[in-house]
Amino acid sequence: MLLTIIREAARCYLVFTLAATGLAKLSSWRIVATGVRLENVIPRRMALPIIIAVAITELTLSTFLATDFHPMISGAATAGLLFCFGGYKVAVAARTGNLACSCAGPGIAYKATRPGVLATVAAAITQAALAVSWAIIPSSPNRIFGVFALLAFSIPVAAFLAGFYRSRTRDPGSPVQEGLTSVRVSADS
């Protein structure tokens, strides 16, 4: 039973995290692409296609995890994605001397210190280990745990849809929070 609880807690965390970051990328793709361009790790012209591909990958993996779809394949792919994130963060730190998260646009950058980089690597390894543990621990025949995973998926989706609805019904010219940067929307945009 303890292994089942560990597996399902890992699944809920990963489902929520991947859905939230995938939707954040899609909802503010311009800002996220700008953040990635500023990090100067990948070619600038590839930032937008990579952001879209990563967002779709995150949402796909989140869906696979939530529905318990081929655990070994989904778990391995999720672990691979999380290792890539860790490697990317280390590359950003080496290139810019800063640690920042570009998962939802340019945010606050902190000076990259040895403990900070080690913590980033440890976080990536921990998240990847959660994906592997979800893949190798047998699933429970008790389907109540699946409800928690679907709930973990629906929370970021509901927040995304609420934000999308608000963005379509607001008064033109009112200040809008898009990603991490406040912008003003004009009537002709």
pLDDT (average), residues 105-118: 77
pLDDT (average), residues 183-189: 41
Q: Residue 143: pLDDT above 90?
A: no
How far apart are the C-alpha atoms of 127 and 125, rounded to whole Å? 6
DSSP line for 90-112: HHHHHHHSEE---BTBS---EE-
Q: Residue 119: pLDDT above 70?
A: yes
Of 10, 6, 3, 8, nearest to 143 (Cα)?
A: 8
Of 64, 68, 32, nearest to 48 (Cα)?
A: 32
What H or E segment, with its residue span, contains residue 184?
strand 181-184
pTM, to two decimals: 0.80
Kindly list the distances between the CA atom of residue 73 and the CA atoms of 70, 76, 81, 140, 170, in Å, as whole numbers in the listed order: 6, 5, 12, 18, 42
Task: Quote the DSSP letter at residue 163.
Answer: H
Per-residue pLDDT at 161: 86
Q: Grade residue 148 by pLDDT with cuts at 50, 70 and 90.
A: confident
Q: Residue 22: pLDDT above 50?
A: yes
